[in-house]
């Protein structure tokens, strides 16, 4: 009679089972289990020999140059209560900032802008800052309420009352720190912008 023989080998590291490649998303500062490395394109933990460097996906740098408020990507067709504008972006190594800009529609009784950014925790944390037409800072983001970091992402929110008919700039930049001592000064992100009536 032929059969299979299973041999269980228990080592001194019985409490530290071997983790298969791709089983985990990279933690902050590209953290992975021992013997694995963070794969930049997928932000997953893989065998070091298969890890690739971070890269910005095609199409996420389509709006360059967008490094100043006056050259920022224009968000158009916003209404007093608007549908959500959403776009994917990327701050590559050496690209310190991206900008978006919009003009609030005229004739709104009361108005606020809601901005949300999500980015991979493996790489440098990002920040959003709202500016008025003169470039003066109006507000910065805070941690979003009721968010689940289940996909290895951090989510930040900004809600600010704004003036109908006025122009604004949204600055997306590195928050500072947690950049692997300069080795992971980059990140991919998704940003969402929506106008609403203040509650």
- Can you tell me the distance from the alpha carbon of 71 to that of 63, in angstroms, rounded to the nearest whole number? 9
Q: Where are the beta strands (DSSP E) in the chain?
A: 37-39, 44-46, 73-74, 85-91, 97-103, 112-120, 126-132, 137-140, 142-143, 153-161, 167-174, 187-196
The whole-angstrom distance between residue 79's C-alpha and the CA centroid of its chain comes to 26
Q: Which residues of the chain have pLDDT under 50?
A: 1-14
153 phi-psi bin (left φ>0, alpha ψ -120 to 50, beta other) = beta
At residue 117, φ and ψ (nearest 5 deg) are -130, 140
Both tokens of 28, joined, read 């902050």
N- to C-terminal Cα separation, the chain:
75
pLDDT of residue 62: 73
Using an 8 Å Cβ cutoff, are 186 and 97 in contact? no
- Can you tell me the distance from the alpha carbon of 130 to that of 161, in angstroms, rounded to the nearest whole number? 11
pLDDT of residue 15: 54
- Can you tell me the distance from the alpha carbon of 143 to that of 124, in angstroms, rounded to the nearest whole number? 16
pLDDT of residue 94: 87
Enter the pTM of the model: 0.85
At residue 34, φ and ψ (nearest 5 deg) are -55, 145
pLDDT, tens digit, for every residue of 19-35?
677 678 999 999 999 99
pLDDT of residue 18: 66
- Quickly count: other Cβ atoms within 10 Å of residue 158's Cβ: 21
pLDDT of residue 96: 85
pLDDT of residue 17: 59
- Can you tell me the distance from the alpha carbon of 30 to that of 98, in angstroms, rounded to the nearest whole number? 23
- Can you tell me the distance from the alpha carbon of 100 to that of 70, in angstroms, rounded to the nearest whole number? 9
Query: In order of start, what are the domains of the chain with their CATH numbers?
Result: 19-53 (no CATH), 73-196 (2.60.120.380)
């Amino acid at each position: 009679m032929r059969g299979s023989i299973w041999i269980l080998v228990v080592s001194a590291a019985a409490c530290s089972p071997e983790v298969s490649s791709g089983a985990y998303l990279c933690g902050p500062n590209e953290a992975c289990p021992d013997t694995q490395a963070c794969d930049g394109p997928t932000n997953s933990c893989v065998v070091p020999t298969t890890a690739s460097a971070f890269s910005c996906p095609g199409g996420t740098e389509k709006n360059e140059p967008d490094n100043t408020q006056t050259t920022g990507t224009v968000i158009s067709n916003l209404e007093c209560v608007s549908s959500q504008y959403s776009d994917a972006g990327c701050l590559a190594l050496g690209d310190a900032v991206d900008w978006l800009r919009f003009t609030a529609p005229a004739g709104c009784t009361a108005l606020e802008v809601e901005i949300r950014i999500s980015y991979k925790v493996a790489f440098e944390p990002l920040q959003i800052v709202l500016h008025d037409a003169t470039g003066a800072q109006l507000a910065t983001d805070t941690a979003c309420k009721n968010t689940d970091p289940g996909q290895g992402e951090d989510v930040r929110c900004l809600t600010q009352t704004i003036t109908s008919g006025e122009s604004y700039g949204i600055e997306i930049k590195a928050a500072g720190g947690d950049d692997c001592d300069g080795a992971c000064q980059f990140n991919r992100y998704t940003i969402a912008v929506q106008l609403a009536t203040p509650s």
